[in-house]
Amino acid sequence: MFRRVVVTGIGTITPVGNQLEEFWHNLTSGVSGVGPITRFNTEGYSSKIAAEVKNFNPTDFIDRKEARRMDRFTHYVMAATIMAVEHAGLDVEKINRERTGVILGSGIGGIETLEQQHRVLLERGPGRVSPFFIPMMIANMGAGQVAINYGFYGCNITTTSACASSANAIGDAFKVIQRGQADVMISGGTEAPITPLAVAGFCSMKALSTRNDDPAGACRPFDAGRDGFVIGEGAVVLVLEEMEHALSRGARILAEVTGYGTSCDAYHVTAPDPQGAGAALAMRMALQDAGIDPRAVDYINAHGTSTPLGDKLETLAIKNVFGEHAYRMAVSSTKSMTGHLLGAAGGLEAAVCILAIDRGLIPPTINLTTPDPECDLDYVPNNARRKEVNVAMSNSFGFGGHNVTLVLERFAIERDHRHAS
């Protein structure tokens, strides 16, 4: 019998808010976090907009000296973890830290440090490259620093599967607890990719929106006028616990993780499978893992990046999996407000599903003014919707053909038996 896994805490550093309540209020109010890039001069760039984290000071959470030895992606995840642990009411001194681990996702890691130190190398020579360059830059250091900060001795892994990274992290952490190898896992993702080189690379791929004169309206998933994604940044962390562990300490349980599916398109380095087959497989695997009938799903937080091909094929995959029920579910893309946090997107969107379940409110897809005829589902256009959500699904897809689906459910001591027939 597998152990049950619940969510007891959430921490957020995002383009629409750096505290959980601010994040949720802005998300459900349809507030866009997108604006002109302020981190560097965008002259010559085709895309000049991004969803930047605002009003964030790492020294509110981290010692100043230590903060100087961390990349921004680590700053974000340290802060999000501190808030998640506090939100969960987790007394670190009272838990078994040998059975507490960390799995975080990051698609790119410390690219800002890489760029800065490369400039130092070219301008000042190899002897002036920082001795902290490597431990600041490597993508696993977010997870490493979190464990060091708390003394968590358990499983410590970083998943890197592009824009599916933090969804893989949460799924893997879920399985670690389910198998009995940990009682508590810190999981989610972090990314800080708004840098000159990273944005230039995405611009060269023609992946980004060029709606520079209308930043707030640039990310428009499922809309006929969509022209690419908007790059974002931030971190979202969940505290996952074995159910009895959470109940024994009187924790408030926000939702239960019940299903995890992961697949590969095995098709192309950036383009999705033309039939959406890999995405559909991940959804079916997650439903099977959760042991539920597809008709039990109330809400899908779509990958929904606002790319012409991606949104159409995700819609096709949803219809292939759910049949007529696809038209009865709510489906929304919160990337319309947060932009695309790349490796941190899956963590953010799993948190959205958890909050939708906990609070009975589904965030909208903003900027959906001219629906694409090939995107014909209920995308909760422009305004949040009050709705009881018992079962939610989060989709995350990444370059390389990586597909991840998570299933989250309303917690009850006795599980409803909505098993697939």
Say which residue the tokens 């002109």 belong to.
Answer: 36
Distance of alpha carbon 409 from alpha carbon 352, whole angstroms: 12
Is 340 a known active-site residue?
yes
Catalytic entry in 155, 163, 203, 375: 163
Instruction: Write down the catalytic residue from 75, 87, 245, 340.
Output: 340
Query: Which residue from 193, 140, 165 is spatially nearest to 346, judged by alpha carbons?
Result: 165
Selecting among 303, 353, 375, 402, the annotated active-site residue is: 303
User: Is 375 noted as a catalytic residue in this protein?
Assistant: no
List the one residue out of 349, 351, 279 whose CA is nearest residue 315.
279
Cα four-point dihedral sign 384, 309, 338, 44: negative
User: How many other C-beta atoms are found inside a 10 Å radius of the C-beta of residue 119?
Assistant: 10
163 noted as active-site residue: yes
Contacts of 198 (CB under 8 A, 6+ apart): 108, 111, 231
* Residues with catalytic function: 163, 303, 340
